[in-house]
Structure 1
Amino acid sequence: MVAFATLVDLERRWRPLSDVEKERAEMLLSDAATKIALLCEQSGVEIDPENDLQSDALVGINCEMVKRAMLSPIDLPPVSTFAQTAGSYSESQTYVNPTGDIYMTLAEKKLIGIGAQRMGSISPAIGGIR
């Protein structure tokens, strides 16, 4: 699976990356693109390379998914709350994505049509006659 976004796209939307971060980001860009493609397939959303609006949205979503994953510290245990105290000073943090999951927000899913409600009907067959 080829990623929808490149390292250049990610750096333009976020910040310059170190060499170590670039290696991780390349893997995450590919993983995120795979998740996007599978979610689209499961939801019946066709990815059209000729649709510039959809392509731009997919690049942005791919980058945001990777950014969320990379913002979680990889050198700390996956906790949702972290506190330190030394004397009268204390510090407390709650991580938004402590395990570094790659995920799409509801707004991102809605943007490309994943999870949209559909309506249909089935004509009953009575006595084998339609």
Structure 2
Amino acid sequence: MTAFATVNDLEELWRVLKQEETGRAEQLLEVVSDSLRMEADKVGKDLDNMIATKPAFFANVVKSVTVDIVARTLMTSTDSEPMTQTTESALGYSWSGSYLVPGGGLFIKNSELSRLGLRRQRMGVIEPYV
């Protein structure tokens, strides 16, 4: 199976990659594409078939989601803990921070799955007692 985006797509939609990022990006594009296929399979959908049967713009949405996930993963530091915000104090000895990817690794946001139509919709019923 092929990736939903290329390194060229990543550079056009995000930023020009550093030389050391290119190899990692190629691998991530394949991994993310297969991860999206797996997420689609969990809800009984075939993402490749959806791309083939839906209007042409759906392929661009899948490409965009793939690039977003790979870009977020490339921003994650591999040699230290990636922080999105930190707060420090002085005499009160206080420090706090938020990690970009708690626990590390690749993650797909629920909003990204929703963009692809891969969120399970649940229907609830409330029984009124009369």
Q: Secondary structure at the match of 2:51?
A: coil
Contact kept, 8 Å, 1:32 with 1:66, in 2: the verdict is: yes
User: Match of 2:80, as an amino acid?
Assistant: L
**Match of residue 76 from structure 1:** 80
Report how far residue 93 of structure 1 moved.
5.2
Report how far residue 31 of structure 1 moved.
0.5
Report how far residue 46 of structure 1 moved.
2.8
Higher Cα Rg, which structure? 1
Contact kept, 8 Å, 1:68 with 1:100, in 2: the verdict is: no
Question: How much identity, in percent, do the aligned residues show?
Answer: 27
Report how far residue 53 of structure 1 moved.
2.3
Contact kept, 8 Å, 1:72 with 1:95, in 2: the verdict is: no
Structure 1: which 5+ residue stretches go unaligned? 86-90, 120-130
**Aligned residues, how many?**
117
1:55 aligns with 2:59: yes
Query: Under a length normalisation based on structure 1, what TM-score does the superposition of the two structures give?
Result: 0.73
Report how far residue 54 of structure 1 moved.
1.9
**CA-to-aligned-CA distance 1:76-115 (integer Å, 9 cap, x gap):** 1477887889xxxxx9753312554222211111111112
Query: Under a length normalisation based on structure 2, what TM-score does the superposition of the two structures give?
Result: 0.73
Change (3 A) 1:19 1:102: same
**CA distance, structure 2, for counterparts of residue 99 and residue 24 of structure 1:** 20
Change (3 A) 1:92 1:11: farther
Contact kept, 8 Å, 2:81 with 2:99, in 1: the verdict is: no
Residues 30-41 of structure 1 correspond to what in structure 2 (within 5 A)?
A: 30-41=30-41
**CA distance, structure 2, for counterparts of residue 95 and residue 46 of structure 1:** 33
Contact kept, 8 Å, 1:72 with 1:99, in 2: the verdict is: no
Residues 1-130 of structure 1 correspond to what in structure 2 (within 5 A)?
A: 1-47=1-47, 48-50=50-52, 51=54, 52-77=56-81, 94-97=98-101, 99-117=103-121
